Amino acid sequence: MESLVFCLFLGLSFHLGSSTTTSFLDEGPSYDYSASIECKSAPDDPLYNGGIIKNHPLGMRRSHHLRVATDSPAFILNNLTGDTIYTFSSWVKISGADSTLITTSLTTDNTTFTCMGTVIAKSGCWSFLKGGFVLDSPSTYAFIYFQNSDVQQLNISVSSASLQPFTYQQWNINQQNMINTARKRNAMLHISDVDGKRLQGATVVVEQISGDFPFGSAIAKTILGNSPYQNWFAERFNAAVFEDELKWYATEPQPGEVNYTIPDQMLEFAQRNQITVRGHNIFWEDPRYTPSWVRNLTPPELKSAVSSRIKSLMSNYKNEFIHWDVDNEMLHWDFYEQRLGRNASLEFFQTAQRSDPLARLFMNEYNVLETCSDMNSTVDQYVSRLQELGEGGVVMDGIGLEGHFSAPNPALIRAVLDKLAVLKLPIWLTEVDISNKFDQETQAKYLEAVLRESFSHPSVNGIMLWSALHPTGCYQMCLTDNSLHNLPAGDVVDALLKEWQTGVVEGETDAHGAFNFVGFFGEYNVTVNYGNRTTNSTLSLCRGYETKHWNIQL
C-alpha cells in the first residue's frame, strides 16, 4: 500500500472577513457573516444595505418596566411574511450611563419575542447588536424595540439598522453553500505508470474511511462492559466526553479518597476505538455540583483542597484530553470566587495551562447560544469574561457552548456564532440536546435544525451531543432506546452523519490520466486498477482553498 501525507484537523479555526456589500445568489441573498465586538467611534454601514427597513423611520415606543414608563426606539413594520427567518442587526450607543445591556424585542399582532438580540452598549461609542427571529405566520404589524435591562433612565441611539428576510429554502441554500466551502475540498488524482506516462481509462475507487470533523456524544460508565453499546458508539462517533465520571464529586466523593478507576476504563475504551476525548470538568462553580464535603471547608482548607484536586487530576491525565473545561459555568455561578476571591478562576486556568500545555483550555457555558433572554450569559458577557482571562495571562484556546435547547432560533444561533467568531478561536458545541418537554418527533426536528446550523457555520470546530445512555433514559434527549434501536433523534444523527461523509466515489481517469472529486475533510482509501495492475493508497484531505493534487503510480 502506498501511503500519502496524513493531516490532522482538530481545532483549526475558519474566519470570514467582514463584508461591506451584499451579494445575491441566484436563489436569494447571500448571508452576511460580518460582526464586531469593538466599540467604534462611528457605526459601520448597515448589513444588506438595510434590508427591508432601508430608509425606514425610527420611532418611539412607550413601555412599562417594573412600573416605570420609558420610551424606547422602535421600528414599526407592516405585513411581515410567515415561514420566514429574519436577521436583524444594528449599532447602538447610550447616554446617561457608562454601559448597560440593551435588548431588542419583537411584538406582532400574533406573537412576541422577548429577546431577539442583545448588546452591551456604552456611552460615547457604537456597539454592534446582531440577532433575529422566525415568523411562522404572517403579521399585519410588528414592533422592533430596544430596552435597557434595568429601570435606569437613559437615552438609546440606534444607527445602521438592518432587517433581512430569508425563506427557509434560501436559508438552507446558504447553509449548504457554506458546507461546500468550509467542510469540503476539490481533489485531483494523477495516475501514471512508473515512467510517468499518464494512464487514460484507469478505474478509480475513492472511499472515505474517517472524517476530520469531531462529532460525538457524552458517555457514562454505563458503556463499560456493554459491548453492543460500545460498538454502536464507535461505529458513529469520533469524539466523546464523560458525562459525570471526571467531575470532582465522582472522583473524590470523600476527602482524600481519590479514585480514577472508572474514567480510566472509559478512556481506555475511547483510545481502543481512536475516539478523541474532551476533559470535562476540573471545577464547577455551581455549588449544587460541588462535593458536599468541599462546601463546608474554610477558605484555607478550600484552597488546599482545590490545589490537590487540580494537581492530582492534571498529573493523572496529562496529554490524554484535547480540551479541558477548566471552571464550568462561570457566568452563572461563583462558588469558588466567593470563597477564594475574584482571581480564583484565573488561577485555575493558569494552573491548568502549566500542567497540561498541549491541551486547549475552554470556557464552557449555557444559554449563550440557546437564548438571549438569560441576562447572565449574553454573548457580550461571554466575550468580556474570555478577554478578562486573557488579560490575566491565560492563553485561551477555545469557546465552549453547551447547547441545551428548547425551540431553537436559527437566526440568533448564527448571529451569536458570528460575534464569537471575531475572536478567531475554535468554537465547540459541547453538550447539545433538546428539552424533553417536547415529544420525540419535535425533539428530532429541533435537533436537526441545531446540528445543521452548527455544522454549516465556518467557525464551529466540533459538536458533542449530551445523550449518554442510562437504563432510566438520558439527561434530556436519547438517540436510542435501551435496546439500541433508534429513536427519531437517532435517525436524524445517522442521516446527517451519512450526508456529511463523501462515501464512495468511482470513475475512470480522463485523457490526461486525471480523476477529480470533491470530498469532505478526512482520510480516504484510493484503489486504482489499470489492466492487471492494482495499487491502494491512503490520503487525507485537509482544509485548504486550492485544489489538492496527488500523484499515484502503478
| 459-478 pLDDT, tens digit each | 999 999 999 999 999 999 99
Which residue bears the cell 471575531? 422
Q: Looking at residue 79, what is its pLDDT? A: 93
Q: Is the pLDDT of residue 395 over 90?
A: no
Query: Residue 176 region, left (φ>0) first, then alpha (ψ -120 to 50), else beta?
Result: alpha
Q: What is the pLDDT of residue 57?
A: 80
How far lies 248's CA from each of 86, 235, 292, 293, 319, in Å?
43, 30, 11, 11, 19
**pLDDT the model gives residue 294:** 97
pLDDT tens per residue across span 88-130:
999 999 999 999 999 999 999 988 888 999 999 999 999 999 9
Say whether pLDDT at 16 is over 70.
no
**What is the reported pLDDT for 66?**
45
Whether residue 541 contacts residue 185, with contact meaning beta carbons closer than 8 Å, is answered with: yes
For the stretch 213-229, pLDDT in tens is: 999 999 999 999 999 99
Residue 105 has what pLDDT? 95
Q: Across residues 358-369, what is the average pLDDT?
A: 95
Long-range contacts of 300-306 (CB under 8 A, 24+ apart): 302/336, 302/339, 302/340, 303/340, 305/255, 306/336, 306/340, 306/344, 306/348
Pairing of strands 139-148, 460-465: unpaired
Q: Which three cell numbers stand for residue 317?
A: 491525565
Number of CB atoms found within 10 A of residue 22's CB: 17
Poorest-pLDDT segment among 103-117, 324-338, 441-455:
103-117
> What pLDDT is attached to residue 153?
78
10 vs 212, higher pLDDT? 212
What is the structure's pLDDT at 35? 98
CB 479 within 8 A of CB 490: yes
Residues 301-309 have a mean pLDDT of: 96
The band of 397, judged by pLDDT with boundaries at 50, 70 and 90, is confident
Q: Cell digits for 35?
A: 460582526
SS in 3 state form for 68-111? EEEEEEEEEEEEECCCEEEEEEEEEEEECCCEEEEEEEEEECCC
- Provide the pLDDT for residue 56: 81
**pLDDT: which is higher, 470 or 19:** 470
Q: What is the pTM of this model?
A: 0.93
User: Which residue among the candidates 245, 347, 402, 431 is catalytic per the annotation?
Assistant: 431
Q: Please report the pLDDT score of residue 264 as a whole number.
A: 98
Q: What is the pLDDT of residue 477?
A: 98
Catalytic residue, from 329, 347, 365, 448: name it. 329
Tell me which H or E stretch contains 459.
Answer: none
Told to judge if 252 belongs to the known catalytic residues of this protein, a careful annotator would answer no
pLDDT of amino acid 252: 98
Percent of the chain past pLDDT 90, that is, above it, reads: 87
Percent share of the chain, pLDDT over 70: 93
pLDDT of residue 58: 86
Q: What is the mean pLDDT of the chain?
A: 92
What is the distance between the alpha carbons of residues 500 and 212, in angstroms, rounded to a whole number? 11
Residue 234 corresponds to which amino acid? A
Q: Is the pLDDT of residue 6 over 50?
A: no
pLDDT digits (tens, 9 = 90+) for 267-298: 999 999 999 999 999 999 999 999 999 999 99
Q: Tens digits of per-residue pLDDT, 428-447?
A: 999 999 999 999 999 999 99
196 forms beta bridges with none
Per-residue model confidence (pLDDT) at position 3:
38
Residue 1's pLDDT is: 38
Residue 524 has pLDDT above 70, yes or no: yes
Residue 200, phi then psi, degrees to nearest 5: -80, 140
Distance CA 349, CA 337 (A): 13
Does the pLDDT of residue 69 top 50, yes or no? no
Comparing 107-111, 307-311, 332-336, 496-500, the range with the smallest average pLDDT is: 107-111
What integer pLDDT is reported at residue 62 of this predicted model?
60
In terms of phi and psi (left: phi > 0; alpha: psi -120 to 50; beta: otherwise), the region of 49 is left
Dump pLDDT digits (tens) for 150-176.
757 789 999 999 999 999 999 999 999
Residue 56 DSSP one-character state? P
pLDDT confidence of residue 254? 96
